[in-house]
Structure 1
């Protein structure tokens, strides 16, 4: 059985959500951020050298990185749910968005989050780059969702799980204000029972 090492207030909610969607059994180990530094605890380092969540352990396999974990779980699943058939247009859309979430979108979003937490006396060289990426990425996302219900087309997939969590962080930073299609999308996916179960884990 897969063991999920989950950190509160983190993107590791994705893994719980995926397992709930697939109705796959798992064991959940919760780790709490340091209340003073907000950093991950040393207990995660005992599981994986990077000390980052999510981490899964399954027999002799220990994996970090959300995208790799999603693919591992989908490969173990007995169903063809949540991943389109290979070599279809939907499959390549799925792959793009699965990797876009952490490959392109996470950097400007998390950078915005971190820069908002520090005391600043003026503009930084990063500001222009981050603003450009935010505008480019969220326009692309909103335009995509204006044409289809989910990121890989008409069907909900694991790419939606990857994208939703980073979009929620963006929402707390007001980066998706006035993006009607993104807001509609989030309202839709947040109604899923598996999402709500994952969210209840903290």
Structure 2
């Protein structure tokens, strides 16, 4: 039996969604973030040394990293579903988006989250202007332009086809969902990029996505 070690408001929601799309049976082990630090509990390190989410166990196998987990589930349980055939141009695009999601799209979004939190942390009054100047300047000159660059790129890509790989929904769209949801809730993605907003509307309307929410619990990035 596949067990998803599921952290609230995390990338593991993608794994629940994929399992629902594939119609597989699975169990969930739930973990809650520390309300102050927003970090995963130490108990997750008993499953995987890094204590990160997502993690799955499948028999003797313990596997972390969203892309690796999605690849494993597609290979072992997909039966040809949600991935283009090997050797096709679509397969190359599929592999590209699977890596792009975490390798290129997420880093500037994570930097924005970190710098936003630094600005919100209590510091001595005489230091606060310096902190705000450094964080504000970094966001203005590097982080926000990078986010804009990637959102413009993604908007243009979705003008070429209905989904990221083509006109068929694939697991790459599941992998890409997280950075786009993060951008919509924390980085200014709005109706000025209609293709990306339409992508969010379409994935949120999928029955498997909704079933994953029902099983996984509250997920702030779905709104």
What CA deviation, in whole Å up to 9, does each residue of 1:146-175 have, x standing for no partner? Answer: 121000000000110011122111101243
What CA deviation, in whole Å up to 9, does each residue of 1:5-59 have, x standing for no partner? Answer: 0000111101000000000111110101112221100110100001000001111
> When the two structures are superposed, what TM-score results if normalisation uses the length of structure 1?
0.95
Matched, 1:145 2:158: yes
Residue matched to 2:43: 43
Query: Which structure: greater helix fraction?
Result: 2
Q: Please report the RMSD computed on the Cα atoms of aligned residues, expressed in angstroms.
A: 1.3
Residue matched to 1:109: 109
In the TM superposition, what are the counterparts of 1:63-142 in structure 2 within 5 Å? 63-119=63-119, 120-124=131-135, 126-127=138-139, 128-142=141-155
Q: Distance in 2 between matches of 1:126 and 1:135?
A: 14
Q: Distance in 1 between matches of 2:79 and 2:65?
A: 23
Runs of 4+ in 1 over 2 A off after TM superposition: 123-129
Aligned match for 2:186, one of 162, 173, 188: 173
SS in 1 for 2:134: coil
What CA deviation, in whole Å up to 9, does each residue of 1:96-134 have, x standing for no partner? Answer: 111111000110111112211222421347432322321
Matched, 1:162 2:145: no
Larger radius of gyration: 2
Residue matched to 2:27: 27
**Structure 1 residues 135 and 36: alpha-carbon distance in aligned structure 2, compared to 1, 3 A threshold:** closer
Contact 1:11 1:166 in 2 (8 A): no
